[in-house]
A and B are shown apart, each in its own frame.
Chain A
Amino acid sequence: MDRIWVVVDRAGERVAPLSLELLTKSKDLADQVEGVTWGDGAQLAAEAGSYGAALLHTVGDLGGRLPGPAVAAAMAARIEAGDAPDAVLVPHNYDGRDIAGRLSALIDRPVLTNVVGLTDADGLRTQHPVFGGSEILTARFTGDGPGIYVVRTKSFAAEDSGGAAADVDVWAVPQLGAADAVRVVDRHVEEREGPKLDEAAVVVSGGRGLGQADAYRMIEELAKLLGGAAGASRAIVDAGWVPYSHQVGQTGKTVKPTVYIAAGISGATQHMVGMKGANNIIAINKDQEAPIFSIADLGVVGDVNKVLPKLIEALRARS
């Protein structure tokens, strides 16, 4: 494969971890890897380069706009001008999905989303977990034009290969019209202590079995004692007990920690697809029949409100 474009998402002044994963994988698959980003490209050039990007294209300062319309239109213009890559890899996150959707409609190519694996066998093939990850579906694009792949976090390792800083250039953005009318008025950052959910070595998640919002404090405390991050099932996010940024699963984060502790979580397929990749799973649930036990290395049949306080006490006593 000759050339891959990777959408380089930002985490402040750095490259977002998921984009580093995509750059690393692309370096494996293609002769030339090019990043496409927004804002100050020079800021990200060294990091993007050391993970495999030879070039970094930026659409420049967004001035309070969302990245979707501008990044997609700039890519589409290059493709229409005959400068098409073989594939475009996009992070499966909020801005990534906006970019992929707009690009798809602009260049009239469909999108493969929820990608967790990529192999090159006479063209790229994608792997997707279906039915909660119990089956793996392999798909590919047919027809002409670049494929658009939206890839989930932790599908590939991010490896610094020590490449030189990427050369930065600025891509012109065509006239965008009505599609570009959204403005960010204010940004809110929900502070959280400790490591990030999708980077933590230990993740402790709570579910509806906690019984009440207050009981989530035990999850946070336990996560802190283990140097990990606190996660949640969608049931308690929807109930407003914890912010969405804690959600693990199909519509939340994918995590692959050394240890995942599920407390009061039933193990719905949509939850399991986000945490099945953990090296070790501990589940605490009062229902012996809970599906979560079918994938737990250690299953404790018991009441979270009894087991967790004792576990916390025992760990506190050691520290």
Chain B
Amino acid sequence: MNVVVCTKQIPDPANPGQLSPDTHTLVREGKLILDDSDAYGVELGLQLVEAAGGEVMLVSMAPHAEVSGLRTALAMGAAKAILVSDEALVGSDALSTAKVLAAAIRRTDPDLIIAATESTDGYTGTLPVQLAQLLDLPSVTFAKRLSVADGKVRADRQTESGYDEVESPLPAVVTVTAGVVEPRYPSFKGIMSAKNKPIEQLSLADLGIDPSAVGWAGARQEVVSVVSAEARTGGEIVVDDGDAHERIVAFLEQLKVI
């Protein structure tokens, strides 16, 4: 069974994010790392191929031919990667990104495509289903448990009131939530071997995509402005000496909650 995992490489979320003053989009300069949200998909893919045979291939779109996040996922155990990087892709919306990933994935022949429900930095959360539609595949979103057997994927899909057990034939696109599996840490051996694993780099021309249809040129949404929200300020602070609960009770009384 061959699994494609969509992997986003993002600025380290530990550093405060920044919007470019000109374009109001997230600044994606400097070192990029593997989006934590994708580590679950990578782990799940690895567990599936370890049980059923086959391999995990990563597909990523990133500026400046960035590979450090891909190396992390390769070190976890993925076999190889496709990286699409092209100047013309800067400014792409989620639909354009989905078209690029779809074109890259068409070159492979996966049984299962795994993505996170949303990325940590942009959290638009529409790309995986756009991708499924572009590839004319079924999609099982928000899976919090997942198994594959007899050419079918079975998953527990989150709902407003609990979860549904759903089933889909392969190939399919699934999106996984954090906590679906426990991502492994790359071993030393994994890190060493990742350095030699193949990363195929593709441009838009390689994929046959018209540069004017993606990136800034093809954008059909724009940021009008960014302003500071009305700041919510802190109020009274009390240090508990054993009677802070009384202050809470008084506050609740004042609000007529009790």
Task: Given the known inter-chain contacts A16-B160, A302-B244, please indicate yes or no for A314 contacting B249, CB distance below 8 A.
Answer: yes
CA distance A283 to B126 in the complex (A): 34
Interface status of B50 (Cβ within 8 A of chain A): no
Interface status of B229 (Cβ within 8 A of chain A): yes
Of listed B94, B137, B177, B257, residue having the most chain A CB within 10 A: B257
CA distance A191 to B150 in the complex (A): 33
Of listed B138, B144, B226, B228, residue having the most chain A CB within 10 A: B138
Task: Given the known inter-chain contacts A101-B132, A240-B179, A245-B160, please indicate yes or no for A182 contacting B166, CB distance below 8 A.
Answer: yes
Residues of chain A with a CB closer than 8 A to B221's CB: 110, 112, 139-142
Residues of chain B with a CB closer than 8 A to A202's CB: 257
- Please report which residues of chain B, range 4-57, place their CB below 8 angstroms from some CB of chain A when the two chains form the complex: 16-17, 19, 24
Contact with A along B128-152 (1 / 0, CB 8 A): 1111111011111110100000000
The answer, among A93, A138, A296, for a CB contact under 8 Å with B160, is A93
Grouping DSSP codes into helix (H, G, I), strand (E, B) and loop, the A interface class, with mixed when no group exceeds half, is mixed
Interface status of B111 (Cβ within 8 A of chain A): no
The answer, among B163, B228, B252, for a CB contact under 8 Å with A135, is B228
Cross-chain contact B165 with A185 (CB below 8 angstroms): yes
Cross-chain contact B129 with A189 (CB below 8 angstroms): no
CA distance A121 to B93 in the complex (A): 23
CA distance A66 to B141 in the complex (A): 10
CA distance A276 to B229 in the complex (A): 11
Interface status of A282 (Cβ within 8 A of chain B): yes
Indicate the size class of the contact surface on chain A: 35 or more
Cross-chain contact A251 with B117 (CB below 8 angstroms): yes
CA distance A48 to B65 in the complex (A): 50
Residues of chain B with a CB closer than 8 A to A137's CB: 19, 24, 223, 225-226
Residues of chain A with a CB closer than 8 A to B235's CB: 296-299
CA distance A293 to B232 in the complex (A): 11
Of listed A66, A93, A98, A294, residue having the most chain B CB within 10 A: A98
Interface status of B196 (Cβ within 8 A of chain A): no
B87 vs chain A, min Cβ distance (A):
21
Interface status of B164 (Cβ within 8 A of chain A): yes
Cross-chain contact A311 with B249 (CB below 8 angstroms): yes
Residues of chain B with a CB closer than 8 A to A143's CB: 220
Residues of chain B with a CB closer than 8 A to A129's CB: 229
Cross-chain contact A244 with B226 (CB below 8 angstroms): no
A259 vs chain B, min Cβ distance (A):
5
Cross-chain contact B159 with A282 (CB below 8 angstroms): no
Interface status of B198 (Cβ within 8 A of chain A): no
Residues of chain A with a CB closer than 8 A to B66's CB: none
Interface status of B258 (Cβ within 8 A of chain A): yes
Task: Given the known inter-chain contacts A238-B178, A294-B234, please indicate yes or no for A280 contacting B255, CB distance below 8 A.
Answer: yes
A318 vs chain B, min Cβ distance (A):
7
- Please report which residues of chain A, range 210-258, place their CB below 8 angstroms from some CB of chain B when the two chains form the complex: 226, 234, 237-240, 243-245, 250-251, 258
CA distance A239 to B178 in the complex (A): 10
- Please report which residues of chain B, range 91-116, place their CB below 8 angstroms from some CB of chain A when the two chains form the complex: 93-96, 98
Across the two chains, which residue of chain B brings its CB closest to A105?
A: B133
Interface status of B86 (Cβ within 8 A of chain A): no
Across the two chains, which residue of chain B brings its CB closest to A201?
A: B257
Cross-chain contact B126 with A178 (CB below 8 angstroms): no
Residues of chain A with a CB closer than 8 A to B226's CB: 130, 135-138
Cross-chain contact A134 with B255 (CB below 8 angstroms): no
Task: Given the known inter-chain contacts A102-B133, A297-B236, please indicate yes or no for A125 contacting B123, CB distance below 8 A.
Answer: no
CA distance A285 to B41 in the complex (A): 33
B15 vs chain A, min Cβ distance (A):
12
Cross-chain contact B234 with A293 (CB below 8 angstroms): yes
Contact with A along B220-256 (1 / 0, CB 8 A): 1111111111011111111110101111110110010
Of listed A105, A238, A310, residue having the most chain B CB within 10 A: A105
Cross-chain contact A113 with B125 (CB below 8 angstroms): yes
CA distance A295 to B231 in the complex (A): 9
B44 vs chain A, min Cβ distance (A):
15
Cross-chain contact A94 with B223 (CB below 8 angstroms): no
CA distance A31 to B78 in the complex (A): 53
Contact with A along B196-214 (1 / 0, CB 8 A): 0000000000000000000
Residues of chain B with a CB closer than 8 A to A16's CB: 160
User: Given A101-B132, A293-B234, A315-B249, list of 14 further CB < 8 A pairs?
Assistant: A68-B129, A97-B141, A101-B130, A139-B221, A140-B221, A141-B221, A150-B126, A178-B137, A184-B165, A189-B161, A259-B257, A296-B234, A300-B237, A300-B248
A-B contact pairs, 17 of them (CB 8 A): A68-B139, A100-B129, A101-B133, A101-B139, A108-B95, A111-B126, A137-B19, A143-B220, A177-B136, A179-B132, A179-B138, A181-B172, A182-B172, A184-B166, A295-B234, A296-B235, A300-B244
Nearest 3 interchain pairs by C-beta: A101-B129, A302-B240, A105-B133
Residue numbers of A with Cβ under 8 A of B are: 11, 16, 66, 68-69, 72, 93-94, 97-98, 100-102, 104-106, 108-114, 125, 129-131, 133-143, 150, 177-190, 201-202, 226, 234, 237-240, 243-245, 250-251, 258-259, 276, 280-282, 284, 288, 293-303, 306-307, 310-311, 314-315, 318
